[in-house]
Chain A
Amino acid sequence: MGTNVKLLTLTGSESLEESLEYCREIVEDAEYPTVRRWRATGGKVLGHFQVYFPEELAHAAGMLPVKLRGAQVECREADSHFGSYLCAIIRSSLEVVLTDRLKLDMFVTHPICDVARNLAGIWARNCPEPAQILYLPQNPNSRHSLDYLTEEYRRVLDDIEEIVGRTVSDDDLRSSIAVFNENRQLLRELYAIKRDTPWLLPVHEAYILVALGGLIQRDEHNEVLRRLIPLIRDRDSRKQDKLRVVFEGGFCEQPPLDLLREIAHFCYVVDDDLLIGLRWILEDVDREGTPLKNLADAYLNKSSYSPVQHDLRKPKEKMLLARIREAEAEAAIVSAAKMCEPGLDEQVPYSEALDEEGIPYFLTEFEERMTSFDHLQIQLETFVENVVFAAPGADGAGLQLVIPEGVS
């Protein structure tokens, strides 16, 4: 099974707008058409829950790595498997599998939070495919975490090999690393456009292009990005007087696309942590030497940050401030999915750090299935006007708008 099977029906002659519209339909389609096409060719599928999974392992084995990031579906089957006080993403992620919208050959979750860890047991009780936890280290500061993670990747690769019925060589891995290195480079270019010329690429369109990568092989994703990035750069869009903001809080459960579109009406989102797992590694992964060790090293030492990874080198509030500075943002939208413990916990130090720095911020919660944005629109508009037209308070503290009840 080659990894260069075409799963999109783009011909390459479509305009940028036509291509973006097509990609949006693919990303929002809870029937997973690309995965169905892949399976129809006899391909096997590895589903991995948020946030980060070394997809090179699946790719090198000829599997399609699919990111489980929730879906806009009614949870008729999955709801009875969960109690209250839990986030929406776990319900919809299980729903798409229980209802056969998405068929997997292997499922991997991570100890990113107490809810996600539980998915391995729930999956095992309800789904035929093998389910497991990839124990990414929560002590990356240990001198021994690199060796541990290398061995852990080896263990997962052994399980993958069993499913595909063949051995994955170091050269297979090196080839996949090359594909993913190019993908990371292209995604960095996309984010550079967003940062430097945000009027050319609003947040919801950038999101669509990133999310697409979780549904097709990266070889094809690279082709799409290679064609579209120049078209984006040549776009005939004029700069507007919008507030430059960083959006924080999209590392796991995803805000609905309409919410991002609403934000884009008022703001240029110049950086964010949306689908950060697909952009976790910030540099090229070395191809020389031992591939698994190189991947482990990149996870630990060449990576971004999120509320679900503990690393003494990356105090989250300082990382957020750095993200804001590097993107030359004027304000932040500090968000969290409802019932997301790590995201909600992080809102406190984020707010304190932003207050100290006098950076205005908009504090909110979201849910993947929210459909009403009127409230958000008014509040966001008020926030933006306050920042743009009003001076910060006399004490130097930043403006803030707190919306504890969410925006739906």
Chain B
Amino acid sequence: MTVATPSPIVGRGARDGAELFRDWYGDLTQASARGEKAAYAFVMGSMVELLRSFDMNVVFPEINSLQTAVRRVSDEYLSEAEDHGFSPDVCGYVKADYALQLRGGEHPMGRIPQPSVAVLTNACNTYLKWGEIWERMYDVPMITVDVPGTRGAGMKPSARGFERDRLYVEQQLREAIEVLEEVTGRPFDIDRCRDVMRLTNEMNRDWRRVLELNRNSPAVYDAMMDGTVYLGVANALRGTEQGAAYFKDLVEELEYKVEAGIGVLPAVDNGSKREQRLIFVGVPCYPIFRRFSELFSEWGGVFVSSTYTWFASGGLDVNFDYDLERPIESLAEGLLLGVQRAVDAMLFHDTALLEAIDEFDADGVVYHPIKSCRTVSTGLADSRRQVLDNRDVLCLYIESDMMDKRVVSEAQLKNRIDAFFEGLDSRALRRASAAAGGAS
């Protein structure tokens, strides 16, 4: 296989993403030092277009929490929350944030400002419980926008039904604007909102292109490892010039890699290992994030797609551009479609998963349900049965957590993952042998 000389743009997405993230936390730390507050929002249905139009600092507690795990200190935060009565069996993100609040915003990446308002949807029910914690702690307004989801598997709403749901979301967004005006003491600036929405549109188009580019072989990024970096930028810097520019550059980098035949793994590029194309379903194992990824990559495994990039982007992969001529109406439509896409990616992902297996030419599917998130995890064992019934792929089902290293057993994970790849290799050999026999 011929591999072109790497250009300096190769690896830029990872480098720039890390730098943007550090800067973002730096900005939040400075805001905290100035005594400023922030709007607390969630990645699924962040409504950041509204928040940025009021020039608010935006904090994503889910990102803060996962960063404590990636930085290997989540156990300290979890213990502190459990000392205050939280059960070991509830969401680790909530507990880490609770402890962070008790610590006055202290975080391994900086200091997080306190909330002035919490903005959330029902995309995850734990969001509601989480918001209630801040409401009690700080007595801040809690804006809940109720986004009706898909009512059942394969149930598409009628045009009238969709418009009814969209209007309900729009009405609530208008109510949310009233609260934000009160919190910030400034009027809503619709033109500023349009500017932010335009930047989200740009990011949205590039995000879809990024996801699509991994259909190529070799895969040009790992959708679980690199995809998480991209996700972080997509959420934290959605609706900003920096965020839009980052994704423009990322598309350039990945298109270059496709053209030059540069994949994720050197061992695949130099022909010493066969690329095992995998789809990841669930949330990564952050307490051993790098090692978790290596357990797959050492066998030539590359995650070509990940449902995490579908739902944790808040449905940014939906083919939808905001209509800047009717911003609030369109914002409501985008929020409805985005949240529905995100929730469907967790609750009703059967068809999308089967399509992804075909489109990405996947060899296997890795299910990683976790203790902390029941939205993502509840249906996975059942979904696996569906996939096995409908596609000739191997599936691996491994459980651990995204925050709590007490339920992460690296040795057990390795055993299961090794056996999975042995199965994949043996199947590839059988197929090769059958093909050779058929040809002769």
Task: Count contacts between A and B, CB distance < 8 Å.
Answer: 172
- The contact of A137 among B89, B146, B153, by CB within 8 Å, is B146
Query: Judging by beta carbons under 8 Å apart, are A155 and B161 in contact?
Result: yes
Q: Is A338 within 8 A of B153, CB to CB? A: no
Cβ of B75 < 8 Å from any Cβ of A? no
CA distance A85 to B152 in the complex (A): 24
> A135 is contacted by which of B90, B91, B151 (Cβ under 8 Å)?
B151
CB pair A312–B152 under 8 Å, yes or no, is no
Q: Contact: A114 with B378, CB < 8 Å?
A: yes
| Residue from the list B84, B136, B150, B381 in contact with A81, Cβ < 8 A | B381
Q: What CA separation (Å) do A126 and B153 show in the bound complex?
A: 12
A90 surroundings in chain B (CB, below 8 A): 378
Look across to chain B and name the residue whose beta carbon is closest to the beta carbon of A338.
B89
A120 touches B152 (CB 8 A): yes
**What is the CA–CA distance of A165 and B39 in the complex, to the nearest angstrom?**
50
Write the nearest CB–CB distance from B87 to chain A, whole angstroms: 4
Q: A82-B381, A144-B171, A341-B374 are in contact. Are A132 and B161 (CB under 8 A)?
A: no
In the bound assembly, the distance between CA atoms of A148 and B126 in angstroms comes to: 23
Q: Given the interface contacts A124-B154, A125-B386, A139-B172, does A118 sit within 8 Å of B378 by beta carbon?
A: yes
Q: Give the number of residues in B that approach A within 8 Å (Cβ atoms).
A: 58
Q: A341 to B126, Cβ gap below 8 A?
A: yes
Give min CB distance, A213 to chain B, whole Å: 26
B375 at the interface (CB under 8 A from A): yes
Are B148 and A83 in contact, CB atoms less than 8 angstroms apart? no
Q: Is B8 an interface residue (CB 8 A)?
A: no
Q: Are B87 and A310 in contact (CB under 8 A)?
A: no
B125 in contact (CB, < 8 A): yes
Per-residue A-contact encoding for B141-180, CB less than 8 Å = 1, 0 else: 0101110111111110000010010001001100100000
Tell me if A51 is interfacial: C-beta within 8 Å of chain B.
no
A130 partner residues in chain B, CB cutoff 8 A: 152
Q: A272 vs B370: C-alpha distance in the bound complex, in angstroms?
A: 32
Smallest Cβ-Cβ distance to B91: which chain A residue: A341
The answer to whether B90 touches A344 (Cβ under 8 A) is: yes
Tell whether A143 pairs with B175 under 8 Å between CB atoms, given A83-B381, A122-B382: yes
Per-residue interface assignment for chain A, residues 123 to 149, with 1 indicating a CB less than 8 Å from any chain B CB and 0 otherwise: 011100011111101110111110110
B228 at interface by CB-CB < 8 Å: no
| A86 adjacent to B378 (CB under 8 Å) | yes
Please, which residue of chain B has its CB at the minimum distance from the CB of A353?
Answer: B136
Besides A111-B125, A342-B129, 11 other CB < 8 A contacts? Answer: A84-B399, A85-B371, A86-B378, A114-B125, A114-B126, A121-B153, A121-B382, A131-B152, A145-B146, A341-B90, A345-B90
A-binding residues in B (CB < 8 A): 84-87, 89-91, 94, 122, 124-126, 128-129, 131-132, 135-136, 142, 144-146, 148-155, 161, 164, 168, 171-172, 175, 343, 346-348, 350, 369-371, 373-375, 377-383, 385-386, 397, 399
Chosen A-B contacts, 27 in total, with CB atoms closer than 8 Å, are A80-B381, A82-B382, A83-B399, A85-B89, A85-B369, A85-B370, A112-B125, A115-B374, A117-B347, A120-B151, A121-B348, A124-B152, A132-B155, A133-B152, A138-B144, A142-B172, A144-B175, A147-B168, A148-B146, A315-B135, A339-B89, A341-B91, A346-B129, A347-B85, A347-B87, A349-B132, A351-B85
